Structure 1
């Protein structure tokens, strides 16, 4: 059965729409069929859920263009769906997930019989500072160079919590929403720095109490713009804590306003003496569609 889950929102048609495919026991779709399904559904990520000998479930992730090693929001979507389908009980507080790059854990927070919130525990992010001409970067983004506010204290960095992204500080939310990148040049830039996309952020938010507003382009994966990112926003919040621009604790990061799909991503960052010790990202979700294909698809 196929499903669409809106992650980072409890309201349908907001959040990040994610396709989830529950594969039957011993009847997995082969990779070429999975790729075709993901291309047909044409969402940022389609996650295929199957049996695992090493964890509770095995998750495989596909964009419309390629298979990828990990998608944070897709992990949350699939785990939320499993709970909604009564495949997880309220006694289940942690869900273990096998992926191509190792095992991950989702923490499940229940209120009686109802799943209230869910969090993916990330690997501690790594960061690599970059030196790059702001004028060239501004040209790729289609803005003036003075609108890029990355500096010595908050430099351009490749942040990696499972999928490397280039973090770029922008002056305002209006500028973040208005910019139109040159996608051909953006793809070349991503390949040069070996990142899967650009993650733009600003401290100018839409809602009081939020830490940042963000926008992400993943053209290299066939996703011009992602409505929300778990991995990149988790890495961003941890980066701000390590740099002293945010305190350890819970941070709400906004994304998706540019696509009229409001997302509120919760990031929990624990740190001691300025060093991040754990990062969890998640929030709410809702299942909006359930459907099945009319044609018979080949399985392994």
Structure 2
């Protein structure tokens, strides 16, 4: 029931993200139209990418929320990583288009019109983006949604580049150095190209079953130590992240004289504790006899 409520909440935020992206790109495009600035054009083009990635994230989140089935017994949660990889690719496309526009402007020249009005409109869009980026990162972290986190970091980078565009274009207007406008656009393009690379490589790493963070693994070990009374040790603790799901498995060594019922009771206690302590986790425990115990320097948890 809780998981369904969380999935619904994430889906609603992803849907709202599309609306915010459309509003921001509209404002930024109007800013470009009234000013003719290629730097503002680059900012608007990145926001068009935001709309595309917001749509992709929404459908990926809906897909990841689907329950396991016969073809996907571990669920569909990795769909969010695919969305994040697509976002990285779209950012790279936007960077190339911006560079083409900047080169054209440098070689052919441009005339800025009503630049301060364009900057004012762009500033409003940037403020909206900043607030929404902060909210997406917070919600994505709290709800362990890679797609929301990726979108939030993307928007935050967009905010930083927008601030740079506003400052640089203001300088170009005040000094009359019109070449600064396409130069700023080129800098924006290189910056978002790097951002796209980071998002894509991080998503690729997670698709390859990246382990949980050291902080999460420390919590797992703590839960095992606190609730493994009666067992000898736990070893070969392994984790893999798949969207909002975290799969945890380890070997639990118990005394050879212990009954199956007693060992099963310890496993139930460990599973309940870990899954309550780490939201979205799924635990698998393999029970072994005493002679399978490993030395503590191997990373085993003594109990």
Q: One fold, TM greater than 0.5?
A: no
Larger radius of gyration between Structure 1 and Structure 2? 2
What TM-score, normalized to structure 1? 0.22
Higher helix share: 2
Could you say which structure has the greater relative contact order, defined with CA pairs below 8 angstroms and 6 or more residues apart? 1
Higher strand share: 1
What TM-score, normalized to structure 2? 0.22
